[in-house]
Chains A and B, each alone.
Chain A
């Protein structure tokens, strides 16, 4: 495996099993014989050394696919939306399916960085940085689709309340406009959260950079960070505030996305369960994507002792929990369809399982209801191949879920004379694949140039960070506040 990576030249890191649940002592969050310096080196050298061969190969493939996306967008803009299979009644089809899929992926990153932070889940420190990066890249992929779906993207500025020659304003009663505000706020706040958390680690790269270009670039990005206690004091406060702000935000974003559907009158969309169901699904699908990236990344980058087996195990458990919420929501959808006594609603749900898109309906249940149940078994959570297989099922399942909701509800219009099938064209499929290319291109560049792990945060959960006298020091923000007699 010498060709696999530069990391492999060193003594191979031992992948230590820390998934045991022994209540007598806390499982270590960083395994192996690591101190602060070795953790810094392990992470920083990824940005300092020339990338491995596999990285170049992966980047070549991913950026080609990203190029395909750009080319197809050019084709779409010069030709028109007729290049898609989108039709009437299936007016939303692939672009909106892809949009909801990608925006959902992002939610796991914010959950890890904000909600798990508020709940003091210290294990998040190993994975939060690249989960946040994943959020930003997923939101970027998501943003493309509604923008090109408007048909005339050069008029997309109509979405924003900009004074214009028509003296008209966008319609604030429409959930589609709420979406514009929710997604753009989400993108901005995620980017800020990611960047702020990264400032101390960018300073680490600045202090280790050998080349002049690296020193200047990381020097500018780290803003002159010195790591003084006064800086840390305000930094921690800002980080806590951002986490508290991002928590309701992340719950609101997919709720607002679900309003795009739920506020309409269409059977299959007009459901009060949509907001919580969408949020749970987003977290489920997002964690599947985090696992899809984390499981190979920890081997390829030699980070097994920082992103440990316990991290993988915990993420599988979150997928299982949110997967069960999703399964429950599916059940309730079918139950309410039957219980409502509403003809259109009932026929829609019969069509979902026995109609022209029955293949999607059943595959969806297989991927999102059956597959995650494997995570009940400990072996499936600790075997990387099994983790990847189930996560892939979930990724496919979450895309299908949006396909079933969008196309599955649109293709049977109220009058049989208006029924119509949707068939994706090569442009539809090319754009979907191309968006994965763009996502992976950005992710590979991130892995090469930025700190992949939140170094400063990981160090706080290592035992060396604690003076012997004050055990539980760093989780004792509250205690400090009491001691310093107020806010902190």
Chain B
């Protein structure tokens, strides 16, 4: 018996070579958090580099095993916030004190304290927009298609199952041996994923 389960979705028959080329990688299913964590750890120790853990909720403590670097998102948000702040100041000062100065109750044209709420809201708005769209951009979302989303087993990644995907581009990748390795780490199912 082969170590690789037959894919649940019927894939059209192709010559072996073509199928190899169109391979995305291996997908291993795990039933709980400790299993997937130890498997990720084992993959890292075995020298794998191109693999990813998928789960229904964030699992902490995997950053080292997955080589996840700190995200630059906070810096982007800082930039967005500063831009909003400067933009708010420019808007109020320019419209009220430069473009159309208008005397109201003897208040100074540039009534800086009165601009604080406007500047604050502009800062908040721009930081929030940067946080959301920056996150989507860094995560490369929206994504129109992904090989894993075609795997019917993978539907449970948003429910109660944990997955490890090992990419074909990894130097150590070998369909049979990697599958055997993942099974040894406690995978309840392993299957090939085509592009």
Task: Please tell me if A208 contacts chain B, counting CB pairs below 8 Å.
Answer: yes
Chain B positions within 8 Å of A476 at CB level: 60
Task: Please tell me if A216 contacts chain B, counting CB pairs below 8 Å.
Answer: no
Task: Please tell me if B13 contacts chain A, counting CB pairs below 8 Å.
Answer: no
- Tell me if B135 and A237 are in contact (CB < 8 A): yes
Q: Measured between alpha carbons, how far is A380 from B195 in the docked complex, in Å?
A: 59
The residue in chain A whose Cβ has the minimal distance to the Cβ of B144 is A224
Chain B positions within 8 Å of A155 at CB level: none
Task: Please tell me if A223 contacts chain B, counting CB pairs below 8 Å.
Answer: yes
Q: Which residue from B33, B114, B122, B158 sits with its C-beta under 8 Å from A203?
A: B158
- Tell me if B146 and A226 are in contact (CB < 8 A): yes
Known: A200-B158, A234-B138, A459-B56. A173 touches B96 (CB 8 A): yes
The residue in chain B whose Cβ has the minimal distance to the Cβ of A480 is B60
Chain B positions within 8 Å of A228 at CB level: 52-54, 165
Task: Please tell me if B132 contacts chain A, counting CB pairs below 8 Å.
Answer: yes
- Tell me if B63 and A480 are in contact (CB < 8 A): yes
Query: Which segment of A32-40, A295-303, A326-334, A382-390 sits at the interface?
Result: A32-40
Q: Measured between alpha carbons, how far is A467 from B122 in the docked complex, in Å?
A: 43
Min distance, Cβ B91 to any Cβ of chain A, angstroms: 6
Task: Please tell me if A122 contacts chain B, counting CB pairs below 8 Å.
Answer: no
Task: Please tell me if A15 contacts chain B, counting CB pairs below 8 Å.
Answer: no
- Tell me if B132 and A468 are in contact (CB < 8 A): no
Min distance, Cβ A435 to any Cβ of chain B, angstroms: 25
Contact with B along A307-335 (1 / 0, CB 8 A): 00000000000000000000000000000
- Tell me if B117 and A232 are in contact (CB < 8 A): no
Chain A positions within 8 Å of B52 at CB level: 228-230
Interface residues of A in 167-208 (CB under 8 A from B): 167-169, 171-173, 175, 177-178, 181-182, 185, 188-189, 192-193, 195-196, 199-201, 203-204, 206-208
Chain B positions within 8 Å of A169 at CB level: 95-96, 99-100
Contact with A along B108-140 (1 / 0, CB 8 A): 000100110110111011011101101110110
Task: Please tell me if B142 contacts chain A, counting CB pairs below 8 Å.
Answer: yes
Q: Measured between alpha carbons, how far is A95 from B57 in the docked complex, in Å?
A: 43
Most buried by A among B118, B132, B158: B158
Task: Please tell me if B156 contacts chain A, counting CB pairs below 8 Å.
Answer: yes
Known: A464-B33, A484-B63. A232 touches B55 (CB 8 A): yes
Min distance, Cβ B108 to any Cβ of chain A, angstroms: 10
Task: Please tell me if B47 contacts chain A, counting CB pairs below 8 Å.
Answer: no
Chain B positions within 8 Å of A199 at CB level: 141
- Tell me if B68 and A189 are in contact (CB < 8 A): no
Chain B positions within 8 Å of A181 at CB level: 117-118, 121-122
- Tell me if A484 and B142 are in contact (CB < 8 A): no
- Tell me if A487 and B141 are in contact (CB < 8 A): no
- Tell me if B158 and A182 are in contact (CB < 8 A): no
The residue in chain A whose Cβ has the minimal distance to the Cβ of B95 is A169
Task: Please tell me if A469 contacts chain B, counting CB pairs below 8 Å.
Answer: yes
Q: Which residue from B57, B104, B125 sits with its C-beta under 8 Å from A457?
A: B57
Contact with B along A200-227 (1 / 0, CB 8 A): 1101101110000000000010011111
- Tell me if B117 and A245 are in contact (CB < 8 A): no
- Tell me if B131 and A241 are in contact (CB < 8 A): yes
Task: Please tell me if B180 contacts chain A, counting CB pairs below 8 Å.
Answer: no
Q: Measured between alpha carbons, how far is A467 from B118 in the docked complex, in Å?
A: 47
Task: Please tell me if A45 contacts chain B, counting CB pairs below 8 Å.
Answer: no
- Tell me if A173 and B104 are in contact (CB < 8 A): yes
Cβ contacts A to B, 20 pairs, < 8 Å: A172-B95, A173-B107, A177-B118, A181-B121, A188-B125, A192-B129, A193-B128, A207-B157, A224-B144, A224-B145, A225-B158, A226-B143, A229-B54, A229-B66, A230-B68, A242-B128, A455-B158, A456-B57, A465-B33, A466-B33
Question: What would 11 more interface pairs be, CB under 8 Å, given A40-B158, A223-B143?
Answer: A169-B95, A185-B121, A188-B129, A196-B132, A207-B156, A207-B157, A223-B142, A226-B54, A456-B58, A464-B32, A465-B57
B residues contacting A by CB (< 8 A) are 32-34, 37, 52-64, 66, 68, 70-71, 73-74, 77, 91-92, 95-96, 99-100, 102, 104, 107, 111, 114-115, 117-118, 120-122, 124-125, 127-129, 131-132, 134-136, 138-139, 141-146, 148-149, 155-160, 165
A residues contacting B by CB (< 8 A) are 35-37, 40, 161, 167-169, 171-173, 175, 177-178, 181-182, 185, 188-189, 192-193, 195-196, 199-201, 203-204, 206-208, 220, 223-238, 241-242, 245-246, 248-249, 252, 256, 259, 455-457, 459-460, 464-470, 473-474, 476-477, 480, 483-484, 486-488
**5 residue pairs, one from A and one from B, having the closest CB atoms:** A224-B143, A36-B160, A238-B135, A487-B70, A178-B117
